[in-house]
Structures are given as structure tokens and as C-alpha cells.
Structure 1
Amino acid sequence: MHPAEFSRVFDQPTISADEWFKVLARPNDRGYARLGLAVPKRKLKKAVERNRIKRLVRESFRLNQSNLPAVDIVVLAKSAAATAERSVLWQSLAEHWRRLSALAGSF
């Protein structure tokens, strides 16, 4: 996604949040879901932590993309994600994807 497309998602998003992630979504006209990541150094100090989170989010999105509505999604990682176990983060993302799929009719 380009910077202008990120800004568009941040302007009027549908939000799903928990202890580990904040997920913003906004409908697009592409016909498929797209993913953007915001994993700030301020929240996750070490590059290895940021990269682990990004890999996990991308893989979860890839496996669930076909079930998602046509939306642009920006996933923001929170500080707690750095120390959380993979299985906890995986379940958290699955719940976010489920919420977005349930909201498909309201977009």
C-alpha cells in the first residue's frame, strides 16, 4: 500500500483492538483484502521482535485473505506483542479476521 492509502485507512477506520494488536480497516474498490503493517520501533525495541511480529501477521493474513471482505487493513502492533507467545498472537489475529469478516455487510 502507498502512503496515501495508509492515510485513507487512518482517516475513518473500522477498528478492532485487543491487548496485542489494533487493526484498522476501510473498504476498497480492488475486490480483495490488502494488508499494511505499522510495527513501530518505539513499541518494539528490537528488530528481531519487529520482524517476528511482521512475519506472523503476514502469514496469518495470507491464510485468511480469501475469507476477508474487500478492505484495506493496517495492523498496528502494541508493546505486549513483543513478549507474547506465537499461539496467543495467532489466536488474536484469527479473532480480528473473524470480526472483519462479520462486519463485511456493514462496509
Structure 2
Amino acid sequence: MFQNSRRSSDRCFTVLFRANGKSNARLGTAVAKKILKRAVDRNRVKRLIRESFRHQQHDLAGLDLVVLCARGIDLSNKHQLRDSLDRHWKKAVQAISTVGN
């Protein structure tokens, strides 16, 4: 996944994605201890990522996605994190749909 994928990045997350040839979407997360020291913070980010993925899962069908947490992420603004993920999901869908045509 880390070698043969496209990527979308901003100051909150980096999302790696590629088509999986299946009818469902699959999600992976990589939130490093080096970036978020406290386990409670890492778990909070992973819960937020999974929740956002569940809401957009029907649009992401046929994709494998891995979400990486960026350095200096601001956990206090939940709306900013959700908006960032929504932009990444849309970008992934558009990039894969243009490649498929």
C-alpha cells in the first residue's frame, strides 16, 4: 500500500489510496506514538477517522485507504479534522474515478 498508491496530504492527515477491485472499501490507520504521545489522543484520532469513514463508506466503495496522522495536528478542533477527512475522501474518489475513465 505504501509503494503503489496515490496520496492526498494537508496539515492534519495524509491519506494513501488505491483501487482494490472489490465492492467494499477498506480502511487502515497509522497514528504514530512519535507524533501523538498519549494513548488517549491516538485513540481519539482513530475513532474520529473510523467515524468519518463509516459515514462516507458507500461513496468510497472499491478503495483501500490508509490514513496517517501529520505532525502538529490540533486535536482541539474536531470540525477541522472532520472537514479535512471529508476533503481527502472526495479527492480519493475523484482521483480513482478519473483514472477509471
Conserved 8 A contact 1:26-1:73: yes
* Contact 2:19/2:96 (8 A) holds in 1: no
* TM score, norm. by length of structure 1: 0.86
1:13 CA displacement: 1.0
What is the root-mean-square deviation of aligned Cα atoms in Å? Answer: 1.3
Q: What's the TM-score, normalizing by structure 2?
A: 0.91
Decide whether aligned partners of structure 1 residues 95 and 12 sit closer, same or farther in structure 2, where only a CA change above 3 A counts: same
Q: Report % sequence identity.
A: 41
How many residues align? The count is 99
Structure 1 outlier segments of 4+, above 4 Å: none
- 8 Å CA contact retained: 2:18, 2:96: no
Partners of 1:61 and 1:39 in 2: CA distance = 16
Q: How does 1:51-90 map to 2 (within 5 A)?
A: 51-90=43-82
**Deviations along 1:49-87, whole A, 9 cap, x unmatched?**
100100000000000010114111000011222534100
- Matched residue, 2:10: 18
Measured after TM superposition, the shift of residue 104 of structure 1 is 2.6
Q: Unpaired runs of 5+ in structure 2? A: none
